[in-house]
Chain A
Amino acid sequence: MDREQDLLTGSVIGDEGVLALEELARACGAEAKWIIELVAVGVLEPQGTDISCWRFRAADLTCARRVFRLQRDFDASLDAAAVMLDLLDQIEQLRARLKRAGQDVDLDVE
């Protein structure tokens, strides 16, 4: 079978919670325990109340992977990584606002 020639159709993950806890953990290459911690500190906000019903969105996966990298690459604690994440989000929002305002200012600080 030459799978390289096939046209692949995937499922789209967007703002609707679709990923279960185990799926999100696996996608991050992490333990479910770690995902539960992320929810506990408020980095992730799954839909559903009971752990077995938790469903995560695309943004949760992007965000969790980011925290994973920050923790791994900077030896950061979960709380420190969460602060970094908040700050990075704010920077992104400001950049987007500048861009919308037509002021595509080079914000690089060095």
Chain B
Amino acid sequence: MEFKDYYKTLGVERTATADEVKKAYRKLARTYHPDVSKEANAEARFKEIGEAYEVLQDTEKRAAYDQLGNRWREGQEFTPPPDWGAGFEFTQGRASRGEAPDFSDFFSSLFGNFARQADASRARGEDHHAKIVIPLEDAFQGATRTITLRAPQLDAQGRVALREHTLNVRIPKGIRDGQLIRLAGQGAPGAGGAPGGDLYLEVHFDPHALYRVESHDLSLTLPLAPWEAALGATVKAPTPTGVVEVKIPAGSQSGRKLRLKGRGIPGEPAGDLYLVLDVVLPKADTEQAQQIYHTMARELAFNPRKALGV
């Protein structure tokens, strides 16, 4: 496993006081908290920062970590020395309130076996949470998706170890962004024969190249030629379930919305698909095209700025 330089993660000196450590952590937490940050990798960074703080804010853990000395560099291959942890007694950390911390293998190898007391009594397993990002098409056809999860778990000796497991999950037709799929018994195993916790999968759609999604409705920008918008036309439009022909009313302007009822995400009721019209001008890059524009300018008494009073 790789060595982690917790001082470097928090950007403090090895000699930093408890106050300095706390201050550095707070500032980084504000920047990278996944709920408030839009930084790329905020979640991963926040986890690293939390792990570093978990060790450096705790006098016992920090003292033990400091004993490793300057022998390793960030990212270097690491195995705990044989005398590791002798004479220290670690207590359950601050981060283990509520949800089990998902710290690195490095952390687990150093502190994992002390992080939690094994509870022999009968207790229901904790619920777990994960996100799954699926293509929008899954909501139309339904699908089976495979997800791999890492969850901290207590082994028989009460040590915390990261367990990786793979699940095949049925994505039901009609699923929407933000909905949850609750998988009974797929959370943490229970203790003493008690039932396991549940796994909640938060569903999100991949951004789609064509469709924007709002609840169960979709919208699509439909480009039109000026004559199609002006004279009316029947044009083709893509939908998630196949190409359809749409009648464009004469005199349509850009921004006008046409509703295709029931062409959104399936369900009871099904969502709608909105076509947002977008009139696109042909380029005036040939003699002939320029002639046509000149003719329109001459023949049509058109002032697009009439409403502005000019």
- Contact call A65/B129, Cβ cutoff below 8 A: yes
Assess whether A61 is in contact with B200, with CB atoms less than 8 Å apart. Answer: yes
Contacts of A26 on B, CB cut-off 8 Å? 124, 127, 197
Q: Is the CB of A7 within 8 A of B168?
A: yes
| B-facing residues in A44-83 (Cβ within 8 Å) | 58-59, 61-62, 65-66, 68-70, 72-74
A interface SS class: helix
Q: Is the CB of A74 within 8 A of B98?
A: no
Using CB atoms, name the residue of chain B closest to A26. Answer: B127
Annotate A1-35 by CB proximity to B: 1 below 8 A, 0 otherwise: 00011111111111000000000001111100000
Say which residue of A7, A28, A59, A99 sits within 8 Å of B178 (CB atoms).
A59
- Of all chain B residues, the one with the shortest Cβ separation from A13 is B180
Q: Is B102 positioned at the interface, with any CB of A under 8 Å from its CB?
A: no
Q: A12-B179, A13-B182, A58-B179 are in contact. Are A4 and B167 (CB under 8 A)?
A: yes
Known: A8-B170, A10-B169. A29 touches B179 (CB 8 A): no
B126's closest neighbor in chain A, by CB? A29
Compute how far the CA of A12 lies from the CA of B170 in the bound complex, rounded to whole angstroms: 11
Cβ A30 vs Cβ B169 within 8 A? no
B165 CB–A CB distance under 8 Å:
yes
Interface string of B72-102 (1 = CB under 8 A from A): 0000000000000000000000000111000
Residue A40 is within 8 A (CB to CB) of chain B in the complex: no
| Chain A residue, CB-CB nearest to B124 | A26
Known contacts A66-B35, A84-B36: A12-B167 contact under CB 8 Å: no
Within 8 Å of chain A (Cβ to Cβ): is B202? yes
Set A6, A30, A74, A107: member contacting B38, Cβ < 8 A: A107
The size of the chain B interface, using a CB distance under 8 A, is: 44
Query: CB within 8 A of B198: which of A14, A27, A30, A84?
Result: A27
- Nearest chain A CB to B188 CB, angstrom units: 10
Interface centre among B126, B127, B212 (most CB of A within 10 A): B127
CA distance A62 to B34 in the complex (A): 13
Q: Is B166 an interface residue (CB 8 A)?
A: yes
The reply to whether the CB of B175 lies closer than 8 angstroms to some CB of chain A is: yes
User: Cβ of B35 and Cβ of A10 under 8 Å apart?
Assistant: no
- State the Cβ distance, B133 to closest chain A Cβ, in Å: 15
Taking each of A5, A9, A70, A96, which has the highest tally of chain B beta carbons within 10 Å of its own beta carbon?
A: A9
Any chain B CB within 8 A of the CB of A94? no
- From B38, B166, B221, give the contact of A108 (CB < 8 A): B38
The verdict on A8 contacting B168 (CB below 8 Å), with A26-B127, A58-B178 known, is yes
Q: Nearest Cβ distance between residue A19 and chain B, in whole angstroms?
A: 9
Q: State whether B169 touches A13 (Cβ < 8 A).
A: no
A108, B29: Cα distance in complex, Å: 17
Residue of A nearest to B46 (CB): A73
Most interface-central of B34, B170, B175, B200 (chain A CB within 10 A)? B200
In the assembled complex, 17 residue pairs joining A and B whose CB atoms fall closer than 8 Å, in A order, are A5-B168, A7-B170, A8-B167, A8-B170, A8-B183, A8-B186, A10-B169, A10-B182, A10-B199, A27-B198, A28-B98, A62-B180, A65-B129, A66-B35, A84-B36, A96-B214, A99-B212
List 12 extra interface pairs beyond A10-B170, A13-B200, CB under 8 A: A7-B144, A10-B199, A10-B201, A12-B172, A12-B179, A12-B180, A29-B99, A59-B178, A65-B129, A66-B35, A74-B30, A74-B33
- Please provide the 9 A-B residue pairs with the shortest distance between their CB atoms, ordered closest to farther: A29-B98, A10-B181, A13-B180, A10-B183, A14-B179, A27-B127, A9-B170, A58-B180, A7-B168
Interface residue ranges, A against B (CB under 8 Å): 4-14, 26-30, 58-59, 61-62, 65-66, 68-70, 72-74, 84, 88, 96, 99-100, 102, 107-108
